[in-house]
Chains A and B, each alone.
Chain A
């Protein structure tokens, strides 16, 4: 087996894509070879670090709304409507109440 084939096997194992029989042979090979064990462990760590680094990249509510308004605005324009037609009361500036 050449280096590329060995690497391919490692990735298939990490992706859970090895058939059961081969996976069991691979586990035995890992048990026998510290180099293989360390290669698999370091790739696993690297993948965990990738997940950790990008965990929680959800949109905030403000971001979600801004994008939606932009899209719906253009959709309304494409259908010949006014993007936003405020009622007269909405045009009044909020005034601070005097004490």
Chain B
């Protein structure tokens, strides 16, 4: 972690000083996480790929304003989230998980579909904290910064979101787990 943050600082300094190639290394550090986050927000791989590219392109375009002050990851997630919100305003299809086929894992596959559908049906206020804290394993403090809300507000939304998801899943849970 310490190594990551000093590598991040070096790369951000290089990028701010005009070394555009440093964006490749920054992408190597965070690309996978941003892709997973955008995929979980958008439920569609092609859209997640676009949103991931665009997130890092925005970093590149604003590289002169970058400060290696430890808040870079928060800023990165915030850019990704804003891009996802823009995409979610457009009509889109829910992509089925790759194992959503009939077979021995039928109940599990059905549950995966049910969970993705239930999560995407939740209001954004509940979905955002669930994805950030329970899936991305981001701390409540950082998630609150990404969402630009207070920590108590974040926790309240997270707790309500967990119950809303549980209630939506209802019987699918008992059947599959």
A residues within 8 Å of B by Cβ?
7-8, 11, 42-43, 45-54, 57-59, 63-64, 66-68, 70-72, 74-76, 78-79
Stretch from B5-13, B76-84, B157-165 contacting the other chain: B157-165
Smallest CB-CB separation from B158: which chain A residue?
A: A11
Q: Contact string, B109-135, partner A, CB cutoff 8 A, digits 1/0?
A: 001100110010000000000100011
| A-B contacts, CB under 8 A, total | 108
A50 to B18, CA, bound (A): 42
A51 to B131, CA, bound (A): 10
Secondary structure at the A interface, as helix, strand, loop or mixed, is helix
B31 near A46: Cβ-Cβ < 8 Å: no
B159 near A68: Cβ-Cβ < 8 Å: no
**Shortest distance between the CB of B77 and any CB in chain A (Å):** 16
Tell me if B53 counts as interface (CB < 8 A to partner A): yes
Interface size class of chain B, counting residues whose CB lies under 8 Å from the partner chain: 35 or more
B23 near A72: Cβ-Cβ < 8 Å: yes
Q: For B130, what are the chain A residues with a Cβ–Cβ distance below 8 Å?
A: 50
Smallest CB-CB separation from A62: which chain B residue?
A: B49
B49 near A67: Cβ-Cβ < 8 Å: yes
A66 to B163, CA, bound (A): 38
Instruction: Pick 21 A–B contacts, CB within 8 A, sort by A.
Output: A11-B155, A42-B166, A46-B162, A51-B135, A52-B115, A53-B111, A53-B112, A54-B115, A57-B35, A66-B49, A67-B31, A67-B49, A70-B53, A71-B23, A71-B24, A71-B53, A71-B57, A72-B23, A75-B23, A75-B60, A78-B60
**Shortest distance between the CB of B78 and any CB in chain A (Å):** 19
- For the complex of A and B, the 10 pairs showing the least CB-CB separation, nearest first, are A53-B115, A75-B20, A46-B166, A53-B112, A11-B159, A70-B53, A59-B35, A67-B53, A71-B56, A79-B20
Given contacts A45-B177, A75-B20, contact A52 B108 (CB under 8 A): yes
**Shortest distance between the CB of B150 and any CB in chain A (Å):** 15
A49 to B115, CA, bound (A): 7
A79 to B97, CA, bound (A): 40
**Shortest distance between the CB of B89 and any CB in chain A (Å):** 23
A76 to B162, CA, bound (A): 44
Query: When the two chains form the complex, which single residue of B40, B119, B159, B173 contacts A8, counting CB atoms closer than 8 Å?
Result: B159
Query: When the two chains form the complex, which single residue of A8, A46, A51 contacts B169, counting CB atoms closer than 8 Å?
Result: A46
Query: When the two chains form the complex, which single residue of B53, B60, B177 contacts A49, counting CB atoms closer than 8 Å?
Result: B177
A63 to B51, CA, bound (A): 12
